[in-house]
């Protein structure tokens, strides 16, 4: 009997780094930032010819059900939305998903591919080749395989993966590294032995489960209660609220000796801020990214415009981010794109935040 491959897309995030477009009620994965479809839809479409539609699952929170259904129509099987009773980070999320898959008949040697919902990958063929190689490693070695992004510059905002002994299609993982300072990141880059950690994993069902039990007993002890009550939402919520919050990186990956890395054959961007759009949107006019109803530019270059329902005019300004929707307008230099979070923090303390976040 051939092995089944499941895809699990984690889509419960509530990030606001693309505010005012990205809000707690409509986070980044549901936005059409880089094309005509939401990032979640693009993520699912990458699994065409790789994972059967009926074997694709999305894990999210109940409040996002309508958004998930709109973004995943015809891209996942009926009933393949797993609802987290509350956000508890990625380790409990994966534990709950394992319980759901096993309750549905998943076998020990079936494989699960876990990916975020809001990243941009332009090379679909390269992505699928990398996943196929990762599946091969995971199946043969009974290990968790993480996808390593080949770094192009000394980024201080990502965790790193240090590779060790070479294996077929990849490497053993020596260790995971926290986000480094700039000098350390430069050393990682020059060594050629490090990858960016993109939070994508492939492993047999049994391996995921065994590693959670081995390295995170405070979380894995809830597996059997989750499995027993998988069809009882009220009881499930009661159990889930008791699970400690933790990421799969801290709970398992950094502790396990059964981890390999498969180098990515694709360009990747986690779209961490508005200025990141420059790297992933190909059609630009005067080095300006425009998503608007229309525009007039005069001596204006290198700007990022996101105002789908507005006519936008820029004169004698360069390197700005201009974002407008029906409720808010944001204008700031591209170099200060990370400071959008300052606006978000202000609104969290303001009565205005109830309507704008």
Comparing CA positions, the residue from 8, 12, 5, 265 lying closest to residue 147 is: 265
Contact call for residues 293 and 303 (beta carbons, < 8 A): no
- Per-residue pLDDT, 283: 64
Comparing CA positions, the residue from 67, 74, 12 lying closest to residue 38 is: 67
Assigned token pair, 197? 């950690």
For residue 57, the surrounding DSSP H or E stretch is strand 56-61
- Per-residue pLDDT, 304: 94
Region 252-268: mean pLDDT is 97
pLDDT tens for residues 335-348?
Answer: 999 999 999 999 99
CA–CA separation, 202 vs 264, rounded Å? 13
What is the average pLDDT value for the chain, to the nearest integer?
A: 94
- Per-residue pLDDT, 282: 67
Contact call for residues 196 and 160 (beta carbons, < 8 A): yes
CA–CA separation, 109 vs 114, rounded Å? 16
CA–CA separation, 94 vs 351, rounded Å? 35
The residues near 224 (Cβ < 8 Å, ≥ 6 apart) are none
CA–CA separation, 290 vs 266, rounded Å? 25
- What SS3 class is residue 290? strand
Comparing CA positions, the residue from 91, 92, 6, 17 lying closest to residue 57 is: 6
**Residue 133: alpha-carbon gap to chain centroid:** 20
- Per-residue pLDDT, 71: 96
> Distance of CA 147 to CAs 33, 59, 126, 252, 302, Å?
24, 20, 12, 15, 32
Contact call for residues 300 and 315 (beta carbons, < 8 A): yes
Q: Which of 8-12, 32-36, 271-275 has the lowest mean pLDDT?
A: 32-36
DSSP letter string, 99-154: HHHHHTT--TT-EEEEEESS-B---HHHHHHHHHHHHHHHHHHT-EEEEEEPPSS-
Check whether 287 has a pLDDT greater than 90.
no
pLDDT band for 286, please (50, 70, 90 cuts).
low
pLDDT tens for residues 40-52?
Answer: 999 999 999 999 9
- CB burial string 242-260: b at 16+ within 10 A, e below: ebeebbbbebbbbebebbb
Check whether 1 has a pLDDT greater than 50.
no
3-state SS track over 150-207: CCCCCCCCCCEEEEEEEECCEEEEEEEECCCCHHHHHHHHHHCCEEEEEEEEEEEHHH
pLDDT tens for residues 189-227?
Answer: 999 999 999 999 999 999 999 999 999 999 999 999 999
pLDDT tens for residues 82-108?
Answer: 999 998 999 999 999 999 999 999 999
Region 319-346: mean pLDDT is 94
Backbone angles phi, psi at 178, to 5 degrees: -70, 170
Q: Name residue, tokens 């889930």.
A: 240
- The rounded percent of the chain whose pLDDT value lies above 70 is 98
pLDDT tens for residues 100-129?
Answer: 999 999 999 999 999 999 999 989 999 999
DSSP letter string, 313-352: EEES--SEEEEE-SS-EEEEEGGGGGGHHHHHHHHHTSTT
Assigned token pair, 313? 């005019």
> Domains plus CATH for the chain?
5-263 (3.90.550.10), 275-356 (no CATH)
């Amino acid at each position: 009997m051939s092995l089944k491959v499941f895809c699990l897309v984690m889509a419960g995030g509530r990030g606001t780094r693309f505010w005012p477009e990205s809000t707690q009620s409509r986070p980044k994965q549901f936005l059409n930032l880089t094309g005509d479809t939401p990032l979640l839809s693009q993520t699912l479409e990458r699994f065409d010819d790789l994972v059967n539609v009926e074997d694709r699952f999305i894990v999210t929170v109940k409040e996002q059900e309508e958004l998930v259904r709109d973004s995943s129509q015809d891209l996942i099987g009926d009933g393949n939305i797993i609802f987290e009773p509350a956000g508890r980070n990625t380790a409990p999320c994966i534990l709950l998903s394992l319980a759901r898959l096993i309750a549905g008949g998943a076998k020990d040697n079936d494989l699960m591919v876990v990916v975020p919902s809001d990243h941009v990958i332009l090379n679909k063929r390269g992505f699928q080749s990398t996943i196929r190689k990762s599946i091969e490693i995971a199946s043969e070695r009974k290990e968790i395989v993480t996808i390593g992004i080949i770094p192009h510059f000394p980024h201080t905002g990502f965790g790193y993966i240090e590779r060790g002994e070479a294996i077929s299609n990849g490497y053993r993982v020596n260790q995971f590294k926290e986000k480094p300072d700039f000098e350390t990141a430069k050393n990682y880059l020059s060594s050629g032995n490090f990858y960016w950690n993109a939070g994508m994993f492939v492993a047999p069902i049994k391996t995921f489960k065994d590693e959670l039990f081995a390295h995170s007993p405070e979380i894995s002890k809830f597996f059997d209660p989750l499995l027993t009550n998988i069809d009882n939402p009220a009881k499930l919520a009661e159990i889930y609220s008791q699970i400690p919050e933790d990421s799969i990186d801290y709970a398992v990956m950094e502790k396990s000796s059964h981890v390999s890395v498969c180098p990515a054959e694709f360009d990747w961007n986690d779209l961490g801020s508005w200025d990141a759009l420059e790297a992933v949107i190909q059609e630009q006019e005067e080095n300006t990214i425009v998503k608007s109803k229309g525009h007039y530019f005069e001596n204006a270059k290198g700007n990022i415009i996101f105002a789908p329902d507005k006519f936008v005019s820029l004169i004698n300004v360069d390197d700005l981010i201009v974002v407008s929707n029906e409720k808010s307008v944001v204008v700031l230099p591209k170099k200060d794109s990370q400071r959008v979070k300052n606006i978000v923090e202000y609104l969290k303390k303001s009565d205005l935040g109830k309507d704008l976040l």
